[in-house]
Amino acid sequence: MPDFAEPLARLINEFKRLPGIGQKSAQRIAFHLLRAGREEAEHLSQAILDVKDKLGFCALCNNISDSELCQFCRDPNRDPKVVCVVEEPNGIVGIETTRQYEGRYHVLHGALSPLRGIGPESLKIKGLVERIGKGEIEEVIIATNPNVEGEATAVYLARLLKPLGVKVSRIGMGIPVGSDLEFADEVTISKAMEGRREM
């Protein structure tokens, strides 16, 4: 790597720490900021700090929130009988883009991963059990990711929550819409076969 002037080298290094940004993208962004007005750089710099200073987590569902309860837990139009469990707050973003789900959420902040030392006590499961204990919740939809950790978490939660008298369901898995059978892996295809629906 060629030598950059120190402040530029440091900015490139900081950008490389972000997910999905490699050396070339980091350089491109750093050169862009160098050319941009000071105001644009200041806005970005301040927005980064504000996210750390002004945001916390919802006391009920652990979603990102700028007040004690997040926008979904505050919203009286959201059905309190259905709770969708996701690994991370960005899972909520994905589900909200559909504009079809009208229940509430619960964020685990992770998934079970014995190999990385993440057991049930590392996840925000206790709060979920407490919420169910209050008797209002009728169905828990487990929307953890369709990978080994997410599946393990789903199985664990199902065993834990069913005895509490709630319906526990798992999001459907199969061939993504707009995709091609040719490019789907065998596990996805077998899930799609299992999850077939009568027409």
Binding footprint of a copy of itself on the chain (CB under 8 A): 1-8, 10-11, 13-15, 17-21, 25, 27-34, 38, 40-55, 64-66, 70-71, 88-90, 92-93, 96-97
User: Shortest Cβ distance from residue 7 to a copy of itself (Å)?
Assistant: 4
Nearer to a copy of itself, 35 or 134 (CB): 35
Nearer to a copy of itself, 11 or 112 (CB): 11
HSE (side-chain half, CA atoms, 13 Å) at 172: 10
User: Shortest Cβ distance from residue 37 to a copy of itself (Å)?
Assistant: 9
Nearer to a copy of itself, 94 or 119 (CB): 94
Residue from 131, 133, 157 nearest 144 by CA: 157
Separation between Cα atoms, residue 169 and residue 100, nearest integer Å: 17
Nearer to a copy of itself, 25 or 164 (CB): 25
What b-and-e string marks burial along 59-72, b requiring 16 or more CB atoms within 10 Å of the CB? ebbbbbbeeeebeb
3-state secondary structure of 103: strand
